[in-house]
């Protein structure tokens, strides 16, 4: 008979209590994604509706560009996390002729779409196919004066991962650099899933607890919020 069968009721309670105490963060399940953005059909489907579903994304793109143009330090190198089909990157490359962009995304399909969108501007772009969930995500990429991201932080698939990612971003920023973070928020006018999505206050808290001293909410519209952290 297996040893487990010999446990008394009390032993079983103790074992369960220990398991619960130790069940912590690592055992909290991530939220599975209903789509696989690494596959070309899903990437194309996302690309085709992204702007029509949320036409106000263009206002966010404009604000990203303005923030970079007026940053306290001169911005040459921009890192975009979860760059997808390259909508934001193209806008930034067109508006800011002095920058180069490193586009980090784990989807070869998304990089393919971004390459097409960026076209002749691709000589100012480095495509990096990596997950931003890995400890070595930014290894060997150098440092940046700005890190940007839109509609990608929730792709960590659970909000508990945000602080760690933000801390790694902070390490990859030059002194005086900017972190511009836009994502869906949970709560009124936003998303319902409070495991995947953070409230505006939780987003601010995640940035602060990652060590950013100055965190400001600079644009909120249509369920999206943009924070500037430095
Ligand atoms: C919802 S799309 C947003 C794309 C783009 N930021 C935009 O708004 O146009 C999310 C992107 O994050 C990428 N992504 C998801 N999980 C990722 C991960 N762990 N590491 C890197 N990229 C990831 C997906 O491949 C996809 O391109």
Q: Is the CB of 128 under 6 A from ligand 1?
A: no
The C-alpha atoms of residue 104 and residue 93 are separated, in whole angstroms, by 15
Residue 119 covered by a domain: yes
Kindly report the three-state secondary structure assignment for every residue of 8-56: CHHHHHHHHHHHHHCCHHHHCCCCCCCCCCCCHHHHHHHHHHHHHHCCC
Residue 122 covered by a domain: yes
Tens of each residue's pLDDT in the chain, 230 residues: 333 434 444 443 433 333 433 445 557 899 999 999 999 999 999 999 999 999 999 999 999 999 999 999 999 999 999 999 999 999 999 999 999 999 999 999 999 999 999 999 999 999 999 999 999 999 999 999 999 999 999 999 999 999 999 999 999 999 999 999 999 999 999 999 999 999 999 999 999 999 999 999 999 999 999 999 99
Atom index in ligand 1 nearest the CA of residue 107 equals: 25
Residue 3 covered by a domain: no
Residue 155 covered by a domain: yes
Nearest to 191 by CA among 159, 145, 144, 143: 159
71, with CB counted inside 10 A (0-12, 13-18, 19+), is middle
Block residue for tokens 């999206």 = 224
Dist. CA 40 → ligand 1 center (Å): 13
**Whose CA is closest to atom 4 on ligand 1?**
84
CATH of the domain at 94: 3.40.50.150
- With a threshold of 0.85, does the pTM exceed it? yes
Block residue for tokens 């069940």 = 23
Structural domain boundaries, residue 224: 40-229
CB-side neighbour CA atoms (13 Å) of 81: 29
**Whose CA is closest to atom 15 on ligand 1?**
155
Instruction: Please tell me whether residue 177 adopts helix, strand or coil conformation.
Output: strand
**Domain count of the chain?**
1
32, with CB counted inside 10 A (0-12, 13-18, 19+), is exposed
The C-alpha atoms of residue 200 and residue 123 are separated, in whole angstroms, by 36
Region of 125 on the Ramachandran plot (φ > 0 left; ψ -120 to 50 alpha; else beta) = beta
Number of other CB atoms surrounding residue 193 within 10 Å:
12
User: Which mutation among 37, 156, 183 tests ligand 1's pocket best, with the greatest number of atoms within 8 A of CB?
Assistant: 37
Q: Is the CB of 105 under 6 A from ligand 1?
A: yes
Residue 135 covered by a domain: yes
Dist. CA 21 → ligand 1 center (Å): 34
Q: Is the CB of 133 under 6 A from ligand 1?
A: yes
Residue 22 covered by a domain: no
Give pLDDT tens digits for 93-103. 999 999 999 99
Dist. CA 155 → ligand 1 center (Å): 6
């Amino acid at each position: 008979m297996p040893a487990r069968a010999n446990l008394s009721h009390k032993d079983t309670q103790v074992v369960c209590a220990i398991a619960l105490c130790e069940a912590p963060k690592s055992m909290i399940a991530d939220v599975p994604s209903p789509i696989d953005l690494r596959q070309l059909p899903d990437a194309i489907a996302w690309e085709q509706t992204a702007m029509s579903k949320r036409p106000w994304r263009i206002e966010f793109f404009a604000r990203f560009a303005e923030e970079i143009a007026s940053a306290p330090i001169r911005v040459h190198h921009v890192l975009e996390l979860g760059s997808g089909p390259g909508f934001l990157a193209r806008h930034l490359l067109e508006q800011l002729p002095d920058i180069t962009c490193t586009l980090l995304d784990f989807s070869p399909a998304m990089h393919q779409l971004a390459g097409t969108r960026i076209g002749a501007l691709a000589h100012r772009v480095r495509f990096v196919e990596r997950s931003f969930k890995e400890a070595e995500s930014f290894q060997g990429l150098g440092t940046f004066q700005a890190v940007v991201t839109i509609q990608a932080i929730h792709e960590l698939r659970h909000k508990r991962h945000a602080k760690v990612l933000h801390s790694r971003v902070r390490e990859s920023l030059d002194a005086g650099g900017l972190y511009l973070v836009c994502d869906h928020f949970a709560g009124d006018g936003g998303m319902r899933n409070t495991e995947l999505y953070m409230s505006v206050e939780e987003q601010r808290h995640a940035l602060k607890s990652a060590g950013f001293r100055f965190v400001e909410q600079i644009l909120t519209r249509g369920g999206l919020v943009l924070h500037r952290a430095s």
